[in-house]
Amino acid sequence: MGEYFWLEPKNAFENFQEPDIGLIALAFLQGSFAYGGWNFLNYVTEELVDPYKNLPRAIFISIPLVTFVYVFANVAYVTAMSPQELLASNAVAVTFGEKLLGVMAWIMPISVALSTFGGVNGSLFTSSRLFFAGAREGHLPSVLAMIHVKRCTPIPALLFTCISTLLMLVTSDMYTLINYVGFINYLFYGVTVAGQIVLRWKKPDIPRPIKINLLFPIIYLLFWAFLLVFSLWSEPVVCGIGLAIMLTGVPVYFLGVYWQHKPKCFSDFIELLTLVSQKMCVVVYPEAERGGWLEPGRSRLQ
């Protein structure tokens, strides 16, 4: 409508609160949460057709597209609302719709709901494969590596993901939850990227169907270090609780994996629990898994 008061440099860059490096890091952490979808497709690589070609292609197309849409959506919000209005709003898109769309403002909450549903659907589809893969490696109960006899979906892993998600919802503060998840996600992202650099140095001759220049992971690690260090400094309690949640996996590892000589009663209980879970979910262990690893892109039942 020709009004861009809050986009003018003298207004856009005016400090309405004291700058703080820790808060800037938290802003990056919370803002980057919206762009975190690039990582989820990696979890279902073996279910992709021609993953060595389609995985990089999907990431290269999706990241610029999502960035373009999100940045211009935020430009629209800042054009229509002051920073104080943005911070005071519990649902920025809804407030934006009420200010500009009039009787059609109902479109915004419906659009947000549809977007949220799509995000949850994609997250459930991909995140459950983490538990599925962990169980296949022997790090989790074997029932999590089982699939439905007809639909071939990892139902136990999906149910386990659902329970884990419900436990996270004990906190009602959305920003605290984002800080929990964001901090732990980026901690693992950084360790994974660092592992790629170490492998490139220690094992330079192993096959690498997907390979990029080392400059990109190095830049990412620098950004990662800034993000985590200053987030931890700004919100030590929240980040500390996130670390504590992550460390709950340590006793599970020692109990289920490291402890080799378990008593018979413990093994019998696990077998009974597995059998009951199989009957309730109608799942079996994939036949193909007995013969070893499958090539990426092939069906588990082939």
Residue 80 in tokens: 């229509």
Percent with pLDDT over 70 in the chain: 94
Tokens 């799942």 appear where? Answer: 283
* Helix then strand then coil, % of the chain, to nearest 5: 75, 0, 25
For residue 283, list its beta bridge partners.
Answer: 148
Whether the per-residue pLDDT at 98 is higher than 80: the answer is: yes
pLDDT tens-digit map of 11-37: 877 777 777 787 787 788 777 777 777
pLDDT tens-digit map of 182-221: 777 778 888 888 998 899 889 888 888 888 888 888 998 8
Residue 120 in tokens: 């949850």
According to DSSP, residue 295 is labeled: P
Whether the per-residue pLDDT at 291 is higher than 60: the answer is: no
CB contact burial 230-253 (16+ within 10 A = b; e otherwise): bbbebbeebbebbeeeeeeeeeee
The distance of Cα 151 from the centroid of its chain, to the nearest Å, equals 25
pLDDT at 184: 79
Where does the pLDDT of residue 231 fall: very low under 50, low under 70, confident under 90, or very high at 90 and above? confident
pLDDT at 288: 54
Strand intervals (E) in the chain: 147-148, 283-284
Q: What is the mean pLDDT of the chain?
A: 81
Whether the per-residue pLDDT at 298 is higher than 80: the answer is: no
Residue 66 in tokens: 């999502």
pLDDT tens-digit map of 114-139: 888 888 888 788 888 888 888 888 88
pTM greater than 0.75 (yes/no): no
Nearest Cα neighbor of 285 from 152, 183, 158, 160 is 152
